[in-house]
Structure 1
Amino acid sequence: MKYMLTYDLMESVRNTNQWLGATARAIGAYPGMAATGNPWVEWIKAWGDVTERTFARMVVKPDWGISAVTGDDGRDHTVRIETLVAKPFGNLIHFRVPGRVPRSRRVLLVAPMSGHYATLLRKTVISLLPDCEVFITDWHNARDIPVSEGRFDVEDYTVYVAEFMRHLGPDLHVMAICQPAPLVLAATALLAEEQPEAQPRSLILVGGPIDPDANATDVTDFGRRITMGQLEQLVIQQVGFKYRGVGRMVYPGLLQLASFMSMNAQTHTQSFVDQIFRSAKGQSSDHDKHNAFYDEYLAVMDMTAEFYLSTVERVFKGREIARNAFEVNGRLVDIGRISTVAVMVVEGEKDDISAPGQCLAALDLLTGLPKAKKAAHLEPGAGHYGIFAGKSWRDNIRPLVLTFMDENGGRTDRRLRPVAVLPTVAAQVD
């Protein structure tokens, strides 16, 4: 699999399907076809519509699509996306709201590097913007990064996050969502050892695999069954000639997407069949529920081979974070050194990616942190996506997270907007 030819072949298959969809849509839209009176004309056009859009979205980075936010004065304020730190494999960006009194809650969202762009957290950003100054890690697509920029693995990721936290200063709350949770925990421990004054006020870990063995899922079972050699031969490919990263070894986004969809193949198949029916009946639109979801879900990015393989080997198989044996540049990072950063764990009861217990394991590793600074919340009935972007996040988890930030912010400020909290939901760890 590790050849440019296989990468280019995969891209050619995607391109061909996009072309077939566009051709079917064009044929179905041709005025002369309507004269036949054949009902299949509309079905051909509908199939083409859905197929072209589906395969076109796979190579497009989605826009943030956040143009404005309502301020305390009732006016809409524009949102400007500014790059604060630009690095080869990812940037630190700020959603600045000109004309609005700066919020005292400063939140860094650490986005996952697991196949999708940081825009997967668009709804999370939108929900936090009215109450917070929001920053986020915007990871780059590996296929667009020249080989001359070097390698990027889990240690480099950890160093990047620590650098971003240093840049933003200690008056900060960090929220790690899914895959980065163990590495953000390590980055905070790295700061605790090297520069304690740069540590954030609080750390919120949302559905991350701190200890993958705490509660097995299909993801962790796959990691146990396959050897590293098999994994490298099966999924690692070399970027082809079409992109700037030509020659770079990657885990292609299209392969990741195939893996994602195979986990719920029947659901996805039915969703696309239903969309073809809606399109044929004239009931679909550019921003309907199906397109709004799949425009983001289908947009995938390549990961560097060394990042993917080191994640599987060190986080899942070796459980280096869970065993507190993770090293950065040959130096052991002791999570027990974290003693001042308040840590909250959020899990979903029905999370089939990072099952309950995997993220909660972080609290046992924090041996130097007082119990009063530890908190955990298990959201009833919530799946993986729901705990950071769905109804559960909006209605229950978000208020709890904001209150946790306020309680551990180190200061009180009149610009903090009060948040309604359900006191029986958040549980402090005994």
Structure 2
Amino acid sequence: MRYMATYDLMETMRNTNQWLGATARTLASYPGMAMLPNPAIRWWGAWGEVTERSFERMAAKPDWGIHTVTGDDGRDHLVSVDTVVSKPFGDLLHFDVVGRPEQKRKILLVAPMSGHYATLLRSTVKSLIVNCEVYVTDWHNARDIPVSCGKFDVEDYTLYVMDFMRHLGPETNVVAVCQPAPLVLAATAYLAELDPDAQPRTLTLIGGPIDPDATPTDVTDFGARVTMGQLEETMIQRVGFKYPGVGRMVYPGLLQLASFVSMNADRHSKAFNDQILRIARGQASDHDAHNRFYDEYLSVMDMPAEFYLSTVERIFKNREIAKNEFVVAGHKVDMGAITRVAVKTVEGAKDDISAPGQCVAALDLCTGLPDSKKASHVEPGAGHYGIFAGKSWRNNIRPLVLGFIDQNAADAAKAPAAVEVA
């Protein structure tokens, strides 16, 4: 019960701060306040507006906000976000461009389950739906999943990805961003053993910790110096009474957000102070750069406790993927079973979360894959976010990934003809 009380205490603090912000904003906006020529009142109202919006975002799931796309025909087409596979812990979404012929490239974008919603990949999706059929894994907030739905750990995550791959078929091109990279690699290998005909055509791993020890960072060092007992005692709580997942053990989103902010507290503090001053001066807008960034950044989700703990223990501490010792449902997965899925890794030269060397380790694990089906790229000057959503992605990495997909599609098209001639 103390864990439920702690969870509810955090939610109470969030709710209270949201209310205080709303109250300050409302009081400062009363017409009578205009009779008092004191700039502090405008600052007070601006503080209330920023505070209310910030704490409100922490409990809200962002919208994709992708409503139209301009096709090759020069017309704007409506975009419909459809759920094609629904599961307790996550759905498979399809961004259907209405009135446009089906595109040849079919891409499964595997989003991370690391505190933020899949909408963190919004700009990635926008850049791909122009000329691709895009599918995205949409992981659910653990606080909204009843305890009766059972557990969800790294093995369950791997099995979910396998099911999504099976559903989309062998012409799928999988792109895994950050955290899911090692588990998607394992899912591909397991599928190669169990159901070879359902394997994807290509697999692109972007900034993922395949081998966390290849190039240590603050993230990997944290996993090494903290014991599992300490993590479970300090990070895990039970969902409180407010949500459908009451009683479920989770790593709370609010606790994760506190960790995110503390790593760059000075920068975030300055950003909020500057935004308050801009609003007080009438220089801010509802969709300015600050709000666009923090509306997404502050929207956090609870993570299933067993998923968080098993990720730290099995991926970072024991390095089961890096050692090719990963077990799913009692079966040891062999990465060498991947023999025909082309694999490409992408890393950022200035990535301080998954540093260069961690992701490219996947190519050495694919011992059954010919070198002609392996590729890697290190983007100069790019940080972690930039390799999948920033300028580096748009200008350099996206064309490389699509070129990699097209090249292997062409090779697949030639393969049957070569067999017939033989």
The alignment's TM-score, normalised by the length of structure 2, stands at 0.97
Alignment partners' CA distance in 2, 1:349 and 1:216: 14
Contact 1:147 1:247 in 2 (8 A): yes
Shift of 1:31: 1.3
Contact 1:2 1:236 in 2 (8 A): no
Unaligned runs of 5+ in 2: 414-422
Shift of 1:30: 1.2
Find the residue that maps to 1:230 and give its secondary structure.
helix
Alignment of 1:148-297 (within 5 A): 148-297=148-297
Contact 1:201 1:410 in 2 (8 A): no
Contact 1:349 1:380 in 2 (8 A): yes
State the match for 2:71 in structure 1.
Answer: 71
Q: Could you tell me which amino acid in structure 1 is paired with residue 175 of structure 2?
A: M
Q: Could you tell me which amino acid in structure 2 is paired with residue 352 of structure 1?
A: D
State the match for 1:353 in structure 2.
Answer: 353
State the match for 1:92 in structure 2.
Answer: 92
Aligned pair count? Answer: 413
State the match for 1:4 in structure 2.
Answer: 4
Q: Could you tell me which amino acid in structure 2 is paired with residue 285 of structure 1?
A: S
State the match for 2:327 in structure 1.
Answer: 327
Find the residue that maps to 1:378 and give its secondary structure.
strand
Matched, 1:42 2:42: yes
Alignment partners' CA distance in 2, 1:208 and 1:401: 16
Alignment partners' CA distance in 2, 1:206 and 1:41: 48
Residue by residue, what CA displacement relative to the aligned partner does 1:312-365 show, whole Å, maximum 9, x if unpaired?
Answer: 000000000000000001110000110100011000011111111110111110
State the match for 1:51 in structure 2.
Answer: 51
Residue by residue, what CA displacement relative to the aligned partner does 1:371-411 show, whole Å, maximum 9, x if unpaired?
Answer: 11111110011011000000000000000000000011146
The alignment yields a C-alpha RMSD, in angstroms, of 1.1
Counting aligned pairs with the same residue, the percent is 72
Find the residue that maps to 1:409 and give its secondary structure.
helix
Find the residue that maps to 1:343 and give its secondary structure.
strand
Q: Could you tell me which amino acid in structure 1 is paired with residue 39 of structure 2?
A: P
State the match for 1:420 in structure 2.
Answer: none
State the match for 2:23 in structure 1.
Answer: 23
Shift of 1:2: 6.1
Find the residue that maps to 1:306 and give its secondary structure.
helix
State the match for 2:416 in structure 1.
Answer: none
State the match for 1:132 in structure 2.
Answer: 132
Unaligned runs of 5+ in 1: 414-430
Q: Could you tell me which amino acid in structure 1 is paired with residue 238 of structure 2?
A: Q
Alignment partners' CA distance in 1, 2:53 and 2:139: 24
Shift of 1:412: 8.5
Matched, 1:308 2:308: yes
Q: Could you tell me which amino acid in structure 2 is paired with residue 359 of structure 1?
A: C
Alignment partners' CA distance in 1, 2:162 and 2:105: 19
Shift of 1:266: 1.2
State the match for 1:425 in structure 2.
Answer: none
Shift of 1:32: 1.3
Find the residue that maps to 2:389 and give its secondary structure.
coil
Residue by residue, what CA displacement relative to the aligned partner does 1:91-113 show, whole Å, maximum 9, x if unpaired?
Answer: 01100112111110000000000
State the match for 1:392 in structure 2.
Answer: 392
Find the residue that maps to 2:396 and give its secondary structure.
helix
Alignment partners' CA distance in 2, 1:382 and 1:306: 32
Q: Could you tell me which amino acid in structure 1 is paired with residue 167 of structure 2?
A: H
Find the residue that maps to 1:214 and give its secondary structure.
coil
Q: Could you tell me which amino acid in structure 2 is paired with residue 365 of structure 1?
A: L
Alignment partners' CA distance in 2, 1:263 and 1:214: 23
Residue by residue, what CA displacement relative to the aligned partner does 1:165-203 show, whole Å, maximum 9, x if unpaired?
Answer: 000000010000000000000000010100111111100
Find the residue that maps to 1:114 and give its secondary structure.
coil
The alignment's TM-score, normalised by the length of structure 1, stands at 0.95
